[in-house]
Structure 1
């Protein structure tokens, strides 16, 4: 698949910077002047890294010399907020009141900083911010005017970025944008991470692959720079990192919403209500989907408010599935709701849908089985599966990405995109547009401290909504010579997903189910 000549010419004109490390352009605006309270530090004051949560004391201080015999000094760590602990020193001299002194603080990456945290790196409103974009354009692989398929995601994503920058011109935001071609190369990323350009960034958008993203996320954590994953949904890219934002929800988020969806109850399709009054739930997957099944069941039990609530399941030991393995768990007198939380193997999904479809009697419907299958967003990219399976099995699935193309906003975007690039936009262009517009508006409103305000600013985009929450995980920490579990922020992640159904051979938003999350976002948007 190649792009047309108009798109290539316009893109290469806008990406003349691809091969130059220092290339950038400015989005001019009015800037801002308000200052926020200091909340972050500069890594220049880092003294040591704490392994496994152990926190060494800071005791090498002049003030501890020549202590009088009746003076007692001790230290402790206090949880100031979800982002940091404060290292404090207490001093009791005779009958005098206890004196408290702040020695330093510890972030959730386990890094110790000496001094008062209010004198460290500040979240600030700037006259100009720097947004760095790192994508695998693979310009070194171009042949004449042909852009290879491997570059297409990055190219289309950046086209969306450009249209978002046009929109931000109407705001007061002053933005310096740096764009780098990662070439999908580890050595190129290593070189970029050592450059002055990245050190001066306020936000880094990219890269894409998990390995390169991990290096960049760890750089962001050590440097206090927010790194945003544009579309990688791997939840294990980095750990204990309050400077990492994952815009594309990971599969665990989908499982949580699936469980809540099932707990709330699925309305029987209108064409079946007159003859089917019962529903029969069954999970079908592979043995390697066992973690997904556990997460889905946990969300189902939470939604039901019943820890004993169960859904029967069958997990295949291989890529195949025989209907004989599950038919005894099906019912002709009920709507069989089959949940298949599999996304790694198209072969297995194909086999499962083929076997279920074999039980559908499209001529005499009362003699066959009726199904509603709940699947995964990855299925929309599958090429082997007959769409008749999706239609006749009433496929539903969650997806972070869906465009209502007949909306006024989408029509305006499609028109602008076609005028500039000569073709209709695809999903990566929408992703680039939504992400850039969101980050730009957050910088304009909150400055470099915008991560502190994620919960205050849900965002309604063309293709998705951003409802960002902290992902909290329990970690073992050593405290007072005792190992205890403490909640730590692992990362920030978008928690929004659409629910879609395959009907009349096209995807449609599901009107039956509107999650509480969606309602909250819509209410917030109306207030704004």
Structure 2
């Protein structure tokens, strides 16, 4: 657990080393919680509580309101593995995801604090360890929280949720794209849309693009990413049009050339995430379109946004489209403002985890401020378009709230950008 008030974790080069050293020291020596306050509020005088005080002193009514704004943030810093006196590059790398998310989260709460809100943020190191998650699940810092954000890894989510049994307190899964039915916690909130949500969105988009005379071509490759996407996608497409879509499967250059249509559009779905597999297939598609005049539109895997394509790959010529549950518009005013603030405060540019942290803090913090104890009742009717994430929740009594906000990205001269 660490103090978070006014903590500056500087995380690049020597600044990263300094930030991690401070963090290790705080975790080791400071098990108290501070309040994030609006600018201008006077800092309370620190006082170590005694057992008698905890039992006998009445809590003022206004303090109860603040107490409801307790947030537990559970992240895998793995500081137990770090050298407390001289953190190494390996220590920094191991903690980077958690540090970036935490810093973005802090900026989000600071933005609400500037508007007059108050929060008590308790940060706990889950250590990426099931045993540690089982232990901290029972702590008062978790059990008394109004909102729990984390853990982030599937094995941690499972162990923590089973042991915490929070019921009415929401447990936010901020990063894992796992299907929430793997956990079956009715209070779980899955921020990152799982693959079945992408499948439905992509199937709907392809079905809307399809016209009589077109053909949908599934290019099968042996990797796991392809298998996980193509099978469910084919089933979903057939359901949407009651089987009235022509769908074929190909596995190599020869079978592709035998199944493409000269009349109509060839809607090719390629779901591998292996660039070595993708490159020769793209070369073949370019030849079919440029030399033989086949009309081809390409659909890829959501992970393509991170594969670093360039103009020579030719994705723009196919109007290549993918699904995504997040997108950062670096030209947007709010994003630029956040980038400048983050750079100024922490000395480095924000990563995607910092953006995710900000959106989580600002969205759920806003719900706490506006609705208090009833905040969980307003997820489905309170959408959000943030710096990085868009939220549109659907609730299932067995596995909680799942984000169904999916955008379609199309590849152009500046990479993948939203079309809707």
Per the normalisation by structure 1, the TM-score is 0.64
Which residue matches 1:358?
Answer: 284
> Is 1:137 matched up with 2:67?
no
Asked if the contact 1:249/1:493 (under 8 Å) is kept, the reply is yes
> Is 1:409 matched up with 2:344?
no
CA distance in 1, matches of 2:92, 2:20: 14
Which residue matches 2:18?
Answer: 9
CA distance in 1, matches of 2:381, 2:358: 21
Q: CA RMSD in A?
A: 3.2
Equivalent position to 2:99, from 147, 155, 163 = 155
Asked if the contact 2:16/2:92 (under 8 Å) is kept, the reply is no
Which residue matches 1:397?
Answer: 322
Cα distance, 1:389–1:169 mapped onto 2, change above 3 Å: same
Bigger mean CA offset, 194-203 vs 146-155: 146-155
TM-aligned CA deviation for residue 238 of structure 1: 4.5
Counterparts of 1:214-233 in structure 2, within 5 Å, are 214-233=158-177
The runs of 5 or more residues in structure 2 that have no matched partner are: 1-10, 40-63
The runs of 5 or more residues in structure 1 that have no matched partner are: 31-124, 268-276, 316-320, 472-487, 515-528
After superposition, what is the alpha-carbon deviation per residue over 1:109-156, rounded to whole angstroms, capped at 9, x for unaligned?
Answer: xxxxxxxxxxxxxxxx93332111111112233352434323222121
Equivalent position to 1:198, from 118, 122, 142 = 142
Which residue matches 1:323?
Answer: 253
Asked if the contact 1:159/1:429 (under 8 Å) is kept, the reply is yes
Aligned-partner SS, 1:367: coil
Equivalent position to 1:24, from 16, 30, 33 = 33
Rg comparison, structure with higher value:
1
CA distance in 1, matches of 2:287, 2:219: 21
CA distance in 2, matches of 1:463, 1:263: 27
Aligned-partner SS, 1:424: coil
Cα distance, 1:260–1:132 mapped onto 2, change above 3 Å: same
Which residue matches 1:245?
Answer: 189
Cα distance, 1:403–1:280 mapped onto 2, change above 3 Å: same
Cα distance, 1:192–1:21 mapped onto 2, change above 3 Å: farther
Q: Decide which structure has greater helix share.
A: 2
Aligned-partner SS, 2:34: strand
Which residue matches 1:426?
Answer: 351
Cα distance, 1:23–1:507 mapped onto 2, change above 3 Å: farther
Counterparts of 1:64-143 in structure 2, within 5 Å, are 126-128=65-67, 129-142=69-82
CA distance in 1, matches of 2:262, 2:276: 23
After superposition, what is the alpha-carbon deviation per residue over 1:423-465, rounded to whole angstroms, capped at 9, x for unaligned?
Answer: 2212111000001111101111122332221122101101121
After superposition, what is the alpha-carbon deviation per residue over 1:279-338, rounded to whole angstroms, capped at 9, x for unaligned?
Answer: 4321223576566445434543565xx4223341427xxxxx421233211134444221
Which residue matches 2:57?
Answer: none
TM-aligned CA deviation for residue 189 of structure 1: 1.4
Asked if the contact 1:210/1:237 (under 8 Å) is kept, the reply is no
Cα distance, 1:460–1:450 mapped onto 2, change above 3 Å: same
